[in-house]
Structure 1
Amino acid sequence: MNAVTQGELLRTLPFARRYARALTGGQARGDALVAQALRAGLPSDVPVELALFAGVSRLVPDSSGEHISAKQRQLLLLTALEDLSLTDAARAIGTPLPQARQMLEAARDALRAVAATDIMVIEDEPIIAMDLRQLVEACGHNVVGIATGEAEAVAMARALKPGLILADVNLGPGGDGISAVQRILQEQDTPVIFVTAYPERLLTADRLEPAFIISKPFEPMALAIATYQAVSGGIPLD
Structure 2
Amino acid sequence: MSLGQELAPHLPFLRRYARALTGSQQHGDSYVRAALEAIVAAPDDFPREVDARLGLYRTFQRIWASANLEGDDDDVGFGGEREGIAQARLSQVTPRSRQALLLTAMEGFTPEDAGYLIEASAEEVEQLVVDAVAEIERQTRADVLIIEDEPIIAMDLETIVRDLGHNVTGVAVTRDEAVSQALATRPGLVLADIQLADDSSGIDAVKDILAEFNVPVIFITAFPERLLTGERPEPTFLITKPFQRSTVKAAISQALFFDSATVPA
Q: Answer whether TM exceeds 0.5 for this pair.
A: yes
Deviation at 1:46, TM superposition (A): 4.2
Alignment partner, residue 180 of structure 2: 155
Aligned match for 1:83, one of 108, 115, 118: 108
CA distance in 2, matches of 1:27, 1:135: 26
Aligned-residue sequence identity (percent) comes to 43
Match of 2:31 among 33, 40, 59: 33
Residue 23 of structure 1 is aligned with which of 21, 42, 58?
Answer: 21
2:18 counterpart of 1:12:
no
Deviation at 1:105, TM superposition (A): 3.0
CA drift at 1:210: 0.6
Given that 1:197 and 1:216 are in contact with CA atoms closer than 8 Å, whether structure 2 keeps it comes out as yes
CA RMSD of aligned residues (A): 2.2
| Deviation (angstroms), 1:58 | 2.4
Matched, 1:51 2:55: yes
SS in 2 for 1:58: helix
Letter in 1 for 2:141: A
| Residue equivalent to 1:188 | 213
State the 1:172 CA deviation: 4.2
Q: CA separation of 1:77/1:26 partners in 2, compared to 1, >3 Å: closer, same or farther?
A: same
Contact 2:239 2:247 in 1 (8 A): yes
Which structure would you say has the larger Rg?
A: 2
Deviation readout 1:163-187 (Å, 9 max, x if unpaired): 0000001114241111111121111
Size of the aligned set, in residue pairs, is 232
The alpha-carbon distance between structure 1 residues 66 and 221, as it changes in their structure 2 partners (threshold 3 A), is farther
SS at match of 1:173: coil
Report the TM-score, using the length of structure 1 for normalisation: 0.88
Superimposed CA distance per residue, residues 108-143 of structure 1 (whole angstroms, 9 cap, x where no aligned partner): 332443332100001111221111111111111110
Residue pair 2:101, 2:128 contacting (<8 A) in 1 also: no
Counterparts of residues 119-198 of structure 1 (less than 5 Å): 119-198=144-223
AA matched with 2:52: V
Q: Give me the whole-angstrom Cα distance separating, in 1, the residues matched to 2:139 and 2:11.
A: 31
Is the 1:18–1:212 contact (alpha carbons within 8 Å) kept by the matching residues of 2? yes
- Provide the rounded CA distance (Å) in 2 between the counterparts of 1:160 and 1:184: 12
Between 43-52 and 160-169, the greater mean CA deviation after superposition:
43-52
> How does the TM-score come out when normalised to structure 2?
0.80
Q: Distance in 1 between matches of 2:212 and 2:146?
A: 17
- Which structure's residues are more often helix, by fraction? 2
Taking the aligned partners of 1:74 and 1:4, their CA distance within structure 2 comes to 29
Distance 2:54 2:35 in 1: 13
Distance 1:93 1:46, change over 3 A: farther
Structure 2 counterpart of 1:209, from 234, 245, 260? 234
Asked whether 1:223 is paired with 2:248, we answer yes
